[in-house]
């Protein structure tokens, strides 16, 4: 199968922006999708075409997939503790990606590559993970050719640890002994590019170093040059806060439920990433703190 023209959803995100650079470097035609003009501003010079639409709104992506060979979706509600984007992971990730899937079928697109998440047994039941797995099922049932790329944690989701390290106190849910091998967003982008035209149904993606959660926090302290103090927060506190937030801020409620589970269970996938977390943290620690660009 030849894939030259691509609709890339989530092209401004941590993983999507790496993939956009990679695909444009290989001369692919890449049409991107962003919720607002402001969010899209940073990629206008790089994308071949930009569509501005909130894919979670009915009818918003009609026509956006005309003339493309494949969809690559790195679209998902943000996984940071920001208050922006109240909608639950189901209401963004499943609803918006289902709209893309339906529009792809109508436009005769043959292939759907979806950035999902690695479902470790200790946290696959959470609403955040369940949304990804439910979307996978819908794509599987669609009749389109597909691949799902499933990373563990992406380094960008650990950025708050540098802020904690600078403050000298790192809050780590649970006893800090659960293990993980998070992965660089560029390594995830390479895994997505590799299955653009075909490949395994499921591609698990982990990073090069297996660490406990306490070791990740200590790496952040090292990067800012502080000894620091680790405070273990009982996972039950996060679970209770998640319940309290259910009707008030659905996404944060989902996220806290997920964080309580993933930080206290092993999250390990085959190591295909090569870029180390130490270098990511050191680059972040050396850079001046900047406000977040994206809404949600
Ligand atoms: N970060 C992690 O540790 C991690 C680990 C495993 C899996 N994942 C999954 O990988 C995916 C991408 O993660 P990421 O960290 O790269 O996310 P991110 O940096 O928060 O980027 C999310 C992207 O989705 C787009 N988006 C969100 N809602 C949208 C909507 N309603 N309509 C159109 N576009 C929308 C955003 O576009 P604009 O801002 O341009 O509007 C942005 O480009 C998510 O599904 C996430 O759950 C992440």
Yes or no: domain 5-213+220-225+232-283 corresponds to CATH 3.90.930.12: no
pTM score: 0.96
pLDDT exceeds cutoff 90 at 294:
no
In the predicted model, what is the mean pLDDT of residues 218-230?
97
Cα of 13 from ligand 1 centre, angstroms: 5
Q: How remote is the CA of residue 194 from the centroid of ligand 1, in Å?
A: 20
Q: Residue ranges per domain, the chain?
A: 5-213+220-225+232-283
Q: Angle 160-167/213-224 helices, nearest 10 degrees? A: 60
pLDDT in tens, 14-44: 999 999 999 999 999 999 999 999 999 999 9
Ligand 1 atom nearest residue 185's Cα: 16
**Ligand 1: nearest atom to the Cα of 80:** 20
pLDDT (tens digit per residue) in 238-278? 999 999 999 999 999 999 999 999 999 999 999 999 999 99
Nearest atom (ligand 1) to Cα of 156: 1
To which residue do tokens 């990073």 refer?
207
Per-residue pLDDT of 177-218, as tens digits, reads 999 999 999 999 999 999 999 999 999 999 999 999 999 999
Above pLDDT 90, what percent of the chain?
94
Closest ligand 1 atom to 10 CA: 43
pLDDT at 288: 59
> Which of 85, 55, 78, 35 shows the shortest CA–CA distance to 249?
85
Residue nearest to atom 44 of ligand 1 (CA): 76
pLDDT the model gives residue 274: 97
> In testing the pocket of ligand 1, which one of 75, 139, 157 has its CB within 8 Å of the most ligand atoms?
75
Best residue for ligand 1 mutational test, from 13, 31, 53, 269 (most atoms within 8 Å of Cβ):
13
Beta bridge partners of 31: 7, 49
Joined tokens for residue 112: 């759907």
- Is residue 117 scored above 90 in pLDDT? yes
Pocket of ligand 1 (CB under 6 A): 9-16, 33-35, 39-40, 54-56, 74-79, 92-93, 96, 115, 117, 151, 153-154, 156-157, 294, 296
Q: How far is the CA of 38 from the centre of ligand 1 (A)?
A: 16
Q: Whose CA is nearest to atom 7 of ligand 1?
A: 117
How far does residue 78's CA lie from ligand 1's centre (Å)?
5
Atom of ligand 1 nearest to the CA of 118: 6
* Residue 295 predicted with pLDDT over 50: no
């Amino acid at each position: 199968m030849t894939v030259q023209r691509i609709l890339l959803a989530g092209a401004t995100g941590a993983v999507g922006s790496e993939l956009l650079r990679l695909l444009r470097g290989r001369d692919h035609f890449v049409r991107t999708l962003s919720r607002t003009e402001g969010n899209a501003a940073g990629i206008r010079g790089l994308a071949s075409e930009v569509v501005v639409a909130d894919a979670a709104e009915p009818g918003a992506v009609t026509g956006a997939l005309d003339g493309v060979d494949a969809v690559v979706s790195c679209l998902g509600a943000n996984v940071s503790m920001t208050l922006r984007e109240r909608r639950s992971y189901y209401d963004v990730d499943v609803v918006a990606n289902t709209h893309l899937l339906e529009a792809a079928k109508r436009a005769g697109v043959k292939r759907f590559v979806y950035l999902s998440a690695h479902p470790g047994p200790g946290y696959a039941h959470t609403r955040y993970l369940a949304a990804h797995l439910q979307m996978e099922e819908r794509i599987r049932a669609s009749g389109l050719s597909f691949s799902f790329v499933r990373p563990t944690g992406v380094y960008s989701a650990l950025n708050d640890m540098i802020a904690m390290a600078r403050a000298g106190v790192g809050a780590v849910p649970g006893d800090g002994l659960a293990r993980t091998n998070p992965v660089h967003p560029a390594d995830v982008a390479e895994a997505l590019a590799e299955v653009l035209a075909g490949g395994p149904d499921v591609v698990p993606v982990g990073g090069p170093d297996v660490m406990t959660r306490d070791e990740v926090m200590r790496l952040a302290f090292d990067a800012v040059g502080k000894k620091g103090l680790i405070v273990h927060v009982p996972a039950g506190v996060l679970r209770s806060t998640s319940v309290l937030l259910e009707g008030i801020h659905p996404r944060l409620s989902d996220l806290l439920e997920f964080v309580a589970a993933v930080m206290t269970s092993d999250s390990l996938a085959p190591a295909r990433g090569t870029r180390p977390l130490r270098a990511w943290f050191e680059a972040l620690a050396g850079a001046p703190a900047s406000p977040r660009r994206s809404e949600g």
